[in-house]
Structure 1
Amino acid sequence: MTTPQLVSASELERTSVVANNTMNRGRGLAGVNSYARELGLDPLAHLSARPAAPSWLDLCSGEGRALREAATALPADAVLTAVDLVGPLVPVPAPPTLEEVVASVASWAPQRTYDLITCVHGLHYVGDQLGLLVRAASWLAPDGLLLAHFDPDSVRWADGSPAGRAAVAALRTAGFRYSARHHRLTLEGARQVVLPLGYVGADPGAGPNYTGQPAVGSHYSPC
C-alpha cells in the first residue's frame, strides 16, 4: 500500500477538488434538488415549529439559496447563518435575518448556538471531518438538531487503510445516528464530544466518492 501525500488545511483549500467544487452551490430549500430531499427533513417546517426566534446554521452553504428562501418565510426574529469557503459568486444583498460568512469551516466558530445545523455534502471537502462534527455538536441548542452527509469510506488511518468502521462506531458511541442508506449523520441536542481519533492530514487525491464527485480523504491515528 502506498502511503498518500497528506496536506494541511490551508493547502487543501487551495486544491482544485475543494476550490472548484460545485456540489451544493445551487441547491434550494424544497423540490427535486433541495435540502428537504437531501436531508430527509423540511428545514422550513422544522424551524417554523420552534416556539420563538428559530435559528439555522448551514455549513458549506454554497450560494446560500436555501437559507435565502427560508429567510423570506420565517419570522423577523429568525437567525440564519450561511458559512462557505467561497460564498455567493454574485453578491446580492442578503435578507436582514441572514448572515453570509465567507470563511473556512476548519477554523470558523459561531458566537451563539443554533436550533438546526446542516452540512449538505460539505464534509466531502473538509480535511478534518470528525473535528468539525465535534465542534458542531457544541454549537447546537440544548434541543437542537444536526444533520450532515458523511462518507465513512473517506476516513482512513495514517497509512491509508480504511478507518470508516472505527469512525462510525465512535460517532455512534458519542450519540450520533448514522444512516448508511442515506450517508447521513444525525445528532439531537448539544454535547461535548470526544472521539478516539486524532487528525493527521488530508488527501486531496482520494478520488470520487459515492456521489461520483472527487472528494477528500481524511486521515487519522488512534488516540
Structure 2
Amino acid sequence: MIDGTSPTTARDSPQLVKDDELTAHSVVANSTMNRERVLTGVNSYTRELGFDPAEFLGGCGPAPSWLDLCSGEGLALRAAAPHLPQATTITGVDLVGPLRPAALPDGLELITADLGQWSPARCYHLITCVHGLHYIGDRLALLERAASWLTDAGLLVAHFDPVTLRRPDGTDASRPVLAALRAAGFAYSARHHRLTLRGGRPVGLPFTYLGADPDAGPNYTGQPAVASYYGDRGVGQVV
C-alpha cells in the first residue's frame, strides 16, 4: 500500500476503448458529478477543493483568471463571477455542457468540448477539475497539458484516483505514476484525493496511454468511473 491506495490484482483483460469512443459511453456522457455543485455549502467546490475559489482569485490581482475542467452546469462559476473584478476571465469546459442554457455573467464563458482535443488560448491563475478526471481516458496527458496552461504562480487542483491507473495486465500502476507526478512537481493528498501543482511548467510523464475501460465499476466516490491503462513509454510495460 502507498499513500492510502490499495493494489489492484490482475484480472481478465477488458476490452479497452479509444478516447473518441469513450466520450459516447454512458458512464462518461451521463456523468452528473458536477451538474448541481455550487460554489459554497454542502455540495460545493469550496468543500471539495478545501478553499473558496472566489477568495483565491481575489488575491490574484486586478484581472484574475479561472479555468474549470469538467464544469457541468457551471453553477459555481456563475456564483463566483459577480464577486470578482470586472476584468476577471472565467472559462468552464465540459463534454456535455450546460443542459439549462441561461445568460452568463460578464467574463464567464462555458465551452462544450472534448478535453482531449481542446486547449485554451491563454494561461490561468487557477485551474480546477472537481471529480472530472475520473471520466477522462488519457488523464495523464490532460495533466501534462494543463500544467502548461498555468501562470507562473498559478495553482492547479484536481481530484485524482491513482488506483484507477492500470498496467497492461490490469494490475495497479499507482506507485510509478505518483512517483513520476511528484518528480514533475505535483503533490498528492491521499486523504482528500487531490492532486495539486503550483506554477506553470512543461511536464512530460514517461508513460504510453493504451486505452480506457469504462466498465471498471465504482471508484472511491461510489460512482462508476473509468480505468486508464498505461505502459512504460517505449517498451509496453509500466516501470
- What TM-score does the superposition give when structure 1 sets the normalisation length? 0.99
Aligned equivalent of 1:118: 128
Q: How far does residue 165 in structure 1 lie from its aligned partner after superposition?
A: 1.2
Measure, in 1, the Cα distance between the counterparts of 2:192 and 2:199. Answer: 21
Aligned equivalent of 1:210: 220
Measure, in 2, the Cα distance between the counterparts of 1:50 and 1:152. Answer: 31
Aligned equivalent of 2:107: 97
Q: How far does residue 59 in structure 1 lie from its aligned partner after superposition?
A: 0.1
Aligned equivalent of 1:76: 86
3-state DSSP of counterpart to 2:83: coil
- Residue 133 of structure 2 corresponds to residue 133 of structure 1: no
Q: Which moved more, 1:163-172 or 1:55-64?
A: 163-172
Q: How far does residue 90 in structure 1 lie from its aligned partner after superposition?
A: 1.1
Aligned equivalent of 1:59: 69
Q: How far does residue 118 in structure 1 lie from its aligned partner after superposition?
A: 0.1
Query: Are the counterparts in 2 of residues 3 and 159 from structure 1 also a CA contact under 8 Å?
Result: yes
Q: How far does residue 16 in structure 1 lie from its aligned partner after superposition?
A: 0.7
Deviations 1:96-127 (A, max 9, x none): 21011000111100000000000000000000
Measure, in 2, the Cα distance between the counterparts of 1:52 and 1:71. Answer: 13
Q: How far does residue 175 in structure 1 lie from its aligned partner after superposition?
A: 0.3
For structure 2, the 5+ residue unaligned runs are 1-10, 234-239
- Residue 51 of structure 2 corresponds to residue 41 of structure 1: yes
Q: How far does residue 158 in structure 1 lie from its aligned partner after superposition?
A: 1.8
- Residue 232 of structure 2 corresponds to residue 222 of structure 1: yes
Query: Are the counterparts in 2 of residues 114 and 141 from structure 1 also a CA contact under 8 Å?
Result: yes
- What TM-score does the superposition give when structure 2 sets the normalisation length? 0.92
Aligned equivalent of 2:24: 14
Query: Are the counterparts in 2 of residues 4 and 159 from structure 1 also a CA contact under 8 Å?
Result: no
Match of 2:199 among 167, 189, 193: 189
Q: How far does residue 51 in structure 1 lie from its aligned partner after superposition?
A: 1.7
3-state DSSP of counterpart to 2:40: coil
Match of 1:176 among 161, 186, 206: 186
3-state DSSP of counterpart to 2:63: coil
Cα root mean square deviation, aligned: 0.7
3-state DSSP of counterpart to 2:54: helix
Measure, in 2, the Cα distance between the counterparts of 1:68 and 1:51. Answer: 20
Q: Which moved more, 1:156-165 or 1:81-90?
A: 156-165
Measure, in 2, the Cα distance between the counterparts of 1:24 and 1:90. Answer: 14
Aligned equivalent of 1:32: 42
- Could you list the structure 1 runs, at least 4 aligned residues long, displaced by more than 3 angstroms after superposition: none
Q: How far does residue 75 in structure 1 lie from its aligned partner after superposition?
A: 1.1
Aligned equivalent of 1:85: 95
Q: How far does residue 50 in structure 1 lie from its aligned partner after superposition?
A: 1.3
How many percent identity over aligned positions? Answer: 62
Measure, in 2, the Cα distance between the counterparts of 1:69 and 1:56. Answer: 13
